[in-house]
Amino acid sequence: MKNIFDTIFFTEIFQGLGVTLKHMFKKPVTVKYPYEESPIYKFRGIHYMNVDERGVSKCVGCYLCEKVCPAECIHIETDAGPNGERLVRKFEIDLSRCIYCGFCEEACPKDAIHMSDRYDTVDSTRDNYIINMRYMVENRKNVKGE
Amino acid sequence: MLLEILLVVIKILIVITVLLLGVAYMTWLERKVIGHMQVRLGPTHVGWKGLLQPIADGLKLVAKEDIVPDMVDKPVYIIAPLLSLIPALSAFAVIPFADKFTLFGYQVQPYISDVNIGLLYVLALSSVGTYGLIMSGWASNSKYALLGSLRSSAQVISYETAMGLALIGPILLAGTVSLKGITEAQAGGLWYIVPQFVAFVVYLISAIAETNRAPFDLPEAETELVAGFHVEYSSMKFAMFFLAEYANMYVVSSIAAIVFLGGWNGPILPGFVWFVLKVLFFMFFYLWLRATLPRLRFDQLMALGWKVLIPIALANVVITSIVVYVIR
């Protein structure tokens, strides 16, 4: 009986029409990407370095991140300073090889290297993908926070 | 005499221009409405709120290369889009969208003409439009186009019957086939949607099937046939099919507004505004249905047409005639 009623009066079709009409006045969920920031959180993006109170990178050149890196994209060179301390001569990450796994962040004993939430890694030349210590220290400013 | 002919030509040009603009902006509205119904934005990029999108689309289609495939039947292939578009546009010759009014002492008749068989003329033209679909599918020499056009012809022929039968009820009540006469018959009293509600529902379903729109868009089933009958067409010829589809929607909506909702009749606002509002309501209903319902299977479509709509429409004709005979 109910089935016949439903067929004759299109009740289900009207229910569907009601649903679509209700959705029409909802706020669209679209993010106009190039014009608006995408809402991003818990994302492993381009690396950054934490600094100590003097504004120098916390990295001590212990090679742990280079060892743990599965893509072998971190290249570190160290040197002895005048007082016998270790100086980091070169610290480069090849972003075109990096797989953004976050192991370097976990391996770091000095809380130096971290991953920011920057996802705009696109570029027109390969050279720009090799980032150095200065770039990573600068990149600290681009972190939107946790 | 010459002045009258000139006036008619000017009126035809105005009507066609307005109609084509309406068709263009209906595509924009469709994308916008369906976008918002799916909690998206629809076109936003070209112009304010995407308002220049139809113009950009038109320019793109005109600028594209007009490809004619090797194996097509060339004359038929070229004639088919014209046969789709021209009947759709010429149906507007008899649509009375506003009443006569007096301007500077002259009696101005805004609509192009008032034929005393107006409704029949529109139905005949919508049947002619089917030939465009059939010919395009046949001449394209492609299996998808052929399947699409076969489905389309089957569908249009089946639903034409129900549509014509549904329109007989209001014709019996009005006692005339002229669209202006039908409008004037509803002037003081009820709109025919009230006494002829069954016919209205049957007409609405058949009209959607007639114009090959969702949920009856079998001929253009993108998921099964690539695009249906116009799969081999490009550039301006494709644009013609596109315009024809939307112009047909306008024709069918106008007929529905005139026959069931009393055309230009309505309180307070001028007649033309009422007419446009009613037509736009039907157009919105089209889009609304497209956003809501899934496509029917082909056997369901034919069963609905032949086993449900045609008997109901026939019963409606019989009952209406008996009632009209008793009352008069």
| Percent of chain A scoring above 90 in pLDDT | 25
Mean pLDDT of chain B: 85
Q: Considering only the beta carbons, identify the residue of A16, A29, A32 that sits closest to B293.
A: A16
Residues 118-177 (B) with a CB less than 8 A from some CB of A = none
- Flag whether residue B37 sits within 8 Å of chain A, measured between CB atoms: yes
Task: Give B-chain residues touching A19 at CB under 8 angstroms.
Answer: 292
CB of B275 within 8 A of CB of B283?
A: no
- Flag whether residue B300 sits within 8 Å of chain A, measured between CB atoms: no
Kindly report the pTM of this predicted structure.
0.80
**Strand order in A86-94's β-sheet?**
A74-80, A86-94, A130-131
What does the pLDDT average to over A65-78?
92
* Most confident of the following: A26-30, A136-140, B249-253: B249-253
| Percent of chain B scoring above 90 in pLDDT | 5
- Flag whether residue A17 sits within 8 Å of chain B, measured between CB atoms: yes
Range list of H helices, A94-132: 103-107
Q: What pLDDT, on the 0 to 100 scale, is given for residue A71?
A: 92
Look at B292 and A29 and tell me if their CB atoms are within 8 Å.
no
- For testing the chain A interface, which of B31, B36, B300 should be mutated: the one with the most A CBs within 10 Å? B36
Q: Considering only the beta carbons, identify the residue of B40, B44, B288 that sits closest to A20.
A: B288
Please choose, from the candidates B129, B127, B126, B196, the residue with its C-alpha nearest in 3D space to the C-alpha of residue B168.
Answer: B196
Give, in order, the Cα–Cα distances in Å from B176 to each of A22, B209, B259.
Answer: 41, 26, 11
- For testing the chain B interface, which of A24, A27, A33, A36 should be mutated: the one with the most B CBs within 10 Å? A24
- Flag whether residue A34 sits within 8 Å of chain B, measured between CB atoms: no
The answer, yes or no, to whether residue B220 has pLDDT greater than 70, is: no
Q: What pLDDT, on the 0 to 100 scale, is given for residue B305?
A: 85
In whole angstroms, give the CA distance from residue B217 to residue B227: 10
Q: What residue has token string 């909506």?
A: B253
- Flag whether residue B38 sits within 8 Å of chain A, measured between CB atoms: yes
Min CA distance, B117 vs chain A (Å)?
33
Confidence of residue A97 (pLDDT cuts 50, 70, 90): very high
A137-146, B129-138, B305-314: range with lowest mean pLDDT:
A137-146
List CB contacts of B256: < 8 A, sequence separation 6 or more: B200, B203, B204, B207, B282
Confidence of residue A69 (pLDDT cuts 50, 70, 90): very high
Min CA distance, B281 vs chain A (Å)?
14
List CB contacts of A40: < 8 A, sequence separation 6 or more: A117, A119, A144
Min CA distance, A9 vs chain B (Å)?
10
Q: Which residue type occupies B319?
A: I
Confidence of residue B315 (pLDDT cuts 50, 70, 90): very high
Helix, strand and coil in chain B, % to nearest 5: 70, 0, 30
Q: Kindly give the interhelix angle for B310-327 and B143-174, rounded to the nearest 10 degrees.
A: 10
- Flag whether residue A22 sits within 8 Å of chain B, measured between CB atoms: no
Look at B39 and A23 and tell me if their CB atoms are within 8 Å.
yes
Look at B293 and A13 and tell me if their CB atoms are within 8 Å.
yes
In whole angstroms, give the CA distance from residue B304 to residue B61: 37
Q: Which helix (DSSP H) or strand (DSSP E) does residue B280 occupy?
A: helix B271-292
- The tokens describing B231, both together, are 């799969």
